[in-house]
Amino acid sequence: MENLHYLLAYIFVLFSLALSRAEGLGIEKEIFFSSLRTLVQLILLGYLLQYLLKFNNFFEYLAVFSLMSLFASLIFAERVKSLKLFFGAFLSISLSYLVPIVLLLATGVLKSSSYEVIPFGGLIIGNTLNSLSLFYDRVKAEIKNRKDEIEAKVALGATLLQALFDVIRDSIRMAMIPKLNWLKSAGFVHIPGVAVGMLVAGASPFKAILFQVVILYVLLFSGIFSASLLAFLGYREIFRKAFQES
């Protein structure tokens, strides 16, 4: 019961609901259910971490990350209303965390400890989901806006992928704006969260900052890599949905 005062933070959700209603954003239902969902999920995670942090080998970590990727892919498929994009999202997310984690473990930058590996992988998966969502929204909007241009290219003999190349490129660029803003502002504008957590835990400031740099670079890679892979694997389905809605 002593921790219930943390739930006073829900007042910020209530303010968000009020602002959404006042501005006519129409996302009150999504805000309300998402806020409850994250509360339940994080409370469950708090209990699960007591067991997850006892893991001590790569295959156990891989099982945890696979489950995280599965849930992230389901969330993405639910959001875009297309199960056909589930596999592309799952593969994009999985490779986006697997490649950097294996490399960082091999070089010794990341220690083979559940206290480092599991939070690190979860951070990558969550940010990759955000990148995929931003990319999807942008590429679908671009397809709708440039429908005539795409049809003209196909009529002149271009394949659908060739006709969509400029759209995909511009959409990936837009999806990367948050990551690039992080890189530009980290340090002078804000102190990134992982560095703050390490400092609170007692790590030296220099080590905390260097580890945060590693994370920012990995998130940059995972964002552009995952969006590019999803574009290659799912461009037909994305085009179909955008074309039907235009």
Instruction: List the CATH number of the domain containing 122.
Output: 1.20.1640
Same domain, 123 and 192: yes
Kindly report the number of other CB atoms within 10 A of residue 17's CB atom: 16
CA angle centred on 233, ends 231 and 160, rounded to 5°: 70
Residue that terminates a domain, selected from 52, 69, 91? 52
Domain shared by 19 and 130, yes or no: no
Q: Where are the alpha helices (DSSP H) in 1-113?
A: 10-23, 28-52, 58-80, 86-107
Q: Provide the pLDDT confidence category of residue 69 given band limits of 50, 70 and 90.
A: very high
Report how far residue 165's alpha carbon sits from residue 184's, in angstroms, rounded to the nearest whole number. Answer: 27
Q: Which residue, of 10, 34, 52, is where some domain finishes?
A: 52
Query: How many structural domains comprise the chain?
Result: 2
Give residue 188's pLDDT band: very low, low, confident or very high (50, 70, 90): low
pTM, two decimals, is 0.82
Same domain for 100 and 177:
yes
Tell me the pLDDT tens digit for each residue of 2-45: 566 667 788 888 889 899 888 888 888 888 888 888 888 888 88
d(CA 134, CA 175): 5
Instruction: Say whether both 13 and 95 belong to one domain.
Output: no
Domain carrying residue 125: 56-245
What six digits make up the tokens of 27?
Answer: 């996302």
> Do 23 and 62 reside in the same domain of the chain?
no
Are 38 and 142 within one domain? no
Residue 120 shares a structural domain with residue 3 = no
**Helical residues (DSSP H) of 111-176, grouped into ranges:** 114-145, 147-155, 160-175
57 or 203, which is more confident? Answer: 57
Residues 108 and 37 in one domain: no
Whether 42 and 72 share a structural domain: no
Residues 133 and 45 in one domain: no
Same domain, 239 and 142: yes
Are 15 and 73 contained in the same domain? no
Q: What are phi and psi of 190, to 5 degrees?
A: -150, 155
Burial class (CB in 10 A: 0-12, 13-18, 19+), 57: exposed
